[in-house]
Chain A
Amino acid sequence: MLIASLSLPEQGVLTLAALILLSSFLLLAQVRLDSLINTFALQGALIFLATVFMAFISGKYHLLISAALTLFLKVFFIPGQLRLLVVRLNIRREVEVIGNPMLVMLFAAGLVLFSYYVALPIRELSLLSTRNTITISLAVVLIGMLMVISRRKAVAQVIGFMSMENGLFFAAVVSTHGMPMVVELGIAFDVLVAVILFGVFFFHIRTEIGSLDTDRLNHLTEVDR
């Protein structure tokens, strides 16, 4: 099946999927906090666009409500909240050193291949567009997880966590045209609360250890000292 045989909006969704994956790689490599937050907002905007496209492809207009939620949460509220925190904690210009960025990027590329390897044998995923989009959303989730693992700064870990959430939302939109509304609202509520709690934690961590470097949270071990 060729890309050209798909309708224009479907091609749009596929292109957006590729861009979302690209933004995941950008997030992984971005070392400056303010650019990191901007890239995260960009990923949110791409997912918003993809959701709007899917709403018109599927004719399920309740997706537009999900799209509006995404626009509000992922493009404005969460990045805005993070920017505010970063300013208030005075770490806007902070640059994080990623240990061995080359290896991390190669690993992320490996995760993309792994996602395809997992999804290819499934008969139900035989449609070109679903197969690619589900695979990409899985890759976005896994790369978000890699980001949580590889970063040391609490803000970067939170962005990794939220980008996993982006991947999950994208998966729901492209595979099943969104979850039932009540579930979507529940998830959005959880995300909202999580962001607020993360903000609270930033202040606690900062008060306790004087920075947001989570590597210094290392008091709890199996052996008594």
Chain B
Amino acid sequence: MLDLIILILLLLLTYGTGSYLEKRHFKNIQQREIALIRKPIISFGAKKWTTNKKIKKIELVAGEVVISGDYFKNFVASLKNFFGGRLTPFESIMDRARREAILRMREKAKYANIIVNVRIESVMLSDLYNPQSIPQCAIIAYGTAITYEKEQ
């Protein structure tokens, strides 16, 4: 009984802190996305990219983030694993991770005009065969940053 009470308190506490941190992170992402709206532009599209402008610099840029859920999210996901269905607690985490990785990549290449051929990769870092392992995931966003020569 005491174990159950401790578990409930822990879940309530981590639900509160997790929700607060998530809201704060989303707010932070929004502000940074707005700040970077004009430059550098990102393109997920064509592999063969052409331009008539003079190019000053071309380089590979990457942004990485390793993310894991809080105790509450992992707990709920573990319960859902038993019954199956959508792992909703991880959906918001994946969204945060994806946007954060893209933002980090863009922040690294602030000087560039455009980042082309952007790709997003994910790597599971947890041990799939160990049920005790904490679910965590690395998201890597990478692309080719292109900076034009300044027009005279």
The judgment on whether A and B are partners is: no
